A = this chain, B = another copy of it.
């Protein structure tokens, strides 16, 4: 059979305060079109459908509409699991009904041991799990790590293997040896939750979710699809997309998704960035992390840049904070802490503190003073 492998939709996620819902719908439409064009037999979604345990109502509606479209309108079987960002309990509401139309959503470890069978393939849908869940399920006090749990889980799955079929695992975890970036919160590198890739050898393919880049892991048959949308500056260089997987004979192909509005790093000096001949060549409304190469203090730099680039998500100095002679000279350690902090903020950011920021600064200073006493 042929299936599409995607993961980490993170519906509801924001990018430095910017709403990504349109970007996510734009990506979804491309995924749907790929499923149609490639004539896949099913769509695999390997966890983190939502960005948070209690998504807001807009996100609930958005994901519901995507899944209704994919399963009830386009009639694709769906094979999905909950990730660490989802509330398994909330996500599973209604899932007992979904099966009627071949939308399989597993949110409990126990469900993972019953394969979903297609003509030539057994799918094992393993939701994100914590070591204690495996410990409880197998009634084995020795299970203290995800790895120890996974050894038991794989053995239990192998006991269900039909040798006449191919075996695909869908899961959501950190595979040991993967490279990760900073948007993948709650990722434990090499800690209690890492799963050695060697454990996964019994499967013909492992469709993973959790890490957001398709190249996070280098293994032919164990792959992250990555997220369909860039979720942070650290993902700026990643090519987002999905895998199209054939089980027999095994074949895998990456299909890129193109963003409506890209996440990019723009490194240049202020004069160039604000020169029409330069910026008119740019997609000005991309989400931009700007690295200024200037060394000097530039008044109102953020405001000036936002007039040209409306979706700035980061503004940094390429060579670290500006500390001109004038600036360092201005910092007088005999000043009161609030004045010092205000001056430091202005020199670092080229911006004045807002009223809210002043309140926070004052609270932080009060707290710090209390701890001193």
Name A's B-contacting residues (CB within 8 A).
54, 57, 60-61, 64, 68, 71-72, 87, 89-90, 92-98, 100-101, 103
Chain B residues near A60 (CB-CB < 8 A): 89-90, 93
Q: Which single member of B57, B64, B87 contacts A94 (CB below 8 Å)?
A: B64
In the A-B complex, the 4 residue pairs with the smallest Cβ-Cβ separation, listed nearest first, are: A94-B94, A57-B89, A97-B97, A100-B100
CA distance A97 to B70 in the complex (A): 12
CA distance A90 to B55 in the complex (A): 10
Contact: A103 with B92, CB < 8 Å? no
23 A-B residue contacts at CB 8 Å? A54-B54, A57-B87, A57-B90, A60-B89, A60-B90, A60-B93, A61-B89, A64-B92, A64-B93, A64-B96, A68-B96, A71-B97, A72-B96, A93-B93, A93-B94, A94-B94, A94-B98, A97-B97, A97-B98, A97-B100, A97-B101, A97-B103, A100-B100
**Which of chain B's residues has its CB closest to A89's CB?**
B57
Residue among A60, A61, A68, A93 with the highest chain B CB neighbour number at 10 A: A93
CA distance A125 to B61 in the complex (A): 21
**Which of chain B's residues has its CB closest to A105's CB?**
B94
Contact: B97 with A72, CB < 8 Å? yes
CA distance A60 to B93 in the complex (A): 7
Given contacts A94-B95, A94-B98, A100-B101, 5 further A-B contacts (CB under 8 A): A60-B93, A64-B92, A72-B97, A94-B97, A97-B101
Residue among A71, A89, A93, A94 with the highest chain B CB neighbour number at 10 A: A94
CA distance A72 to B99 in the complex (A): 12
Chain B residues near A87 (CB-CB < 8 A): 57
CA distance A57 to B92 in the complex (A): 11
Chain B residues near A68 (CB-CB < 8 A): 96
**Which of chain B's residues has its CB closest to A55's CB?**
B90
Chain B residues near A57 (CB-CB < 8 A): 87, 89-90
CA distance A36 to B194 in the complex (A): 50
CA distance A39 to B210 in the complex (A): 49
CA distance A71 to B97 in the complex (A): 10
CA distance A54 to B72 in the complex (A): 27
**Which of chain B's residues has its CB closest to A99's CB?**
B97
Chain B residues near A90 (CB-CB < 8 A): 57, 60
CA distance A57 to B87 in the complex (A): 9
CA distance A117 to B57 in the complex (A): 30
CA distance A87 to B57 in the complex (A): 9
**Which of chain B's residues has its CB closest to A96's CB?**
B68
CA distance A87 to B90 in the complex (A): 14
Q: In the assembled complex, how far is the CB of residue A51 from the closest CB belonging to chain B, in whole angstroms?
A: 16
CA distance A265 to B297 in the complex (A): 75
